[in-house]
Amino acid sequence: MTVHARTVLFCMIIVGGVGGACVALTAYTPQAVADHTHFLLTNPYTTPTASGDQNGVIGHSRGWSSPLIPSHDLYGYRITDPESSYEKTTIVMISGNHNGEHSGNWALQGMVDFLAGDDPYAAQLRQHADVFVYPLVNPDGRFLGSGRGNPELTSAGLGNDHNRVWNRTGVSTIDAFTAAMKYDTGGIVDYFFDFHSTFFQASNFVTLTPELGDSRFVQELRAIAPEVGVVYSDGTCGMARIWSMSTNGLNADYAYTMEQHMIGEPADYLALGRTYGIALYNTLIPEPATFLLFLLGLPLIFYQRHKSVGLRPQSNHCEENTARSFRFTLQSPVRSACGGVVQLPSEINSS
């Protein structure tokens, strides 16, 4: 299959509107994921994860006989500056839970290309961030092309939504990726991003639990991209976003579902992914405290005006010194509700 050559046609319903539109977006196929991963692994800041082999393969999907779905390689890779001695923020990013949500993968690629690229801000970010990427968590579903699950999932009695079963076992992709993420990160991460698409709105938005509404990343993203909306949802325990925050998952402090509309071109989503990367930079990289103040014995002056990138208004945040130090421990109902409880998937929405 020719990479990036296939397009997917879909019709968008404008919620509250009087009509819709049909558009084509270049498909992000399993082969595109394989090719992009192979390309990235030639980059000096991208390596296979500890869970994977030298090609970044962390496992294999089940595949299926009827309809015929080949078993797919499952990929993971790590982006960081191995020479950096800073304490690093641990970040996990995934995409491809849902079959036709190509714009989510394009946005993830945009953020990945920024993180691994030549941008001097990315170089600084790599010194402070350890990023684990699992770019296509449901390749059998993506191969099918439409829907939200795959035959293996349905056959196991787990419904038809790959993003409602992250707290379950017995599905090849879920078993492989949850094990890989825990092994690669030690089971404790700071940030978790799950990239999706939305077919029902013409806007891009972030879904998050209400207590994260004033989290730093959201503030920074909204500062440089105010058109990106914010949607609050407690979700369900089987969603990747919620699972990641649970004690049975990755103990993530911050988890976001990044929703992209499907009415743009790949270049639009690649650019949006870069914007997410800049927001992450603005979140994690404080402006160094004025060295002269320390020389003068004024270390308690923590006026740390943020070094901001992008179209960002003047900010007067007072922040802590390092990314890790402003991490806070959430007493989230999500954690207590999902920590040791297995729930059947029930809710269906766009996340």
**Residues near Zn ion, by CB under 5 A:** 98, 101, 196
Which two structure tokens, joined as six digits, stand for 14?
A: 């404008």
Residue number, 49 or 95, with CB nearest to Zn ion: 95
Task: Give the per-residue SS3 of 14-53.
Answer: CCCCCCEEEEEEECCCHHHHHHHHHHHCCCCCEEECCCCC
φ and ψ at 49, to 5 degrees? -80, 165
> How many residues would you count in the chain?
351
Q: What is the DSSP string of 108-141?
A: HHHHHHHHHSS-HHHHHHHHHEEEEEE--S-HHH
Q: Could you tell me the smallest distance in angstroms from the CB atom of residue 97 to Zn ion?
A: 5
- Return all residues near 108 (Cβ < 8 A) that are at least 6 apart: 93, 94, 95, 133, 135, 193, 195, 273
Q: Could you tell me the smallest distance in angstroms from the CB atom of residue 245 to Zn ion?
A: 18
Which two structure tokens, joined as six digits, stand for 139?
A: 């390749």
Q: Could you tell me the smallest distance in angstroms from the CB atom of residue 263 to Zn ion?
A: 16
Residue number, 196 or 335, with CB nearest to Zn ion: 196
Residue number, 94 or 221, with CB nearest to Zn ion: 94
Q: How far apart are CA 134 and CA 124, in angstroms?
A: 22
Q: Could you tell me the smallest distance in angstroms from the CB atom of residue 4 to Zn ion?
A: 21
Residue number, 136 or 309, with CB nearest to Zn ion: 136
Q: Could you tell me the smallest distance in angstroms from the CB atom of residue 55 to Zn ion?
A: 27
Residue number, 121 or 195, with CB nearest to Zn ion: 195
User: How many CB atoms sit inside 10 A of residue 185's CB?
Assistant: 23
Residue number, 101 or 113, with CB nearest to Zn ion: 101
Residue number, 98 or 164, with CB nearest to Zn ion: 98
φ and ψ at 90, to 5 degrees? -95, 130
Report which residue's Cβ sits closest to Zn ion.
196
Q: Is 267 helix (H, G, I), strand (E, B) or coil?
A: helix
Q: Could you tell me the smallest distance in angstroms from the CB atom of residue 231 to Zn ion?
A: 13
Q: Could you tell me the smallest distance in angstroms from the CB atom of residue 107 to Zn ion?
A: 12
- According to DSSP, the residues that pair with 239 across neighbouring strands are none
Q: How far apart are CA 270 and CA 258, in angstroms?
A: 13
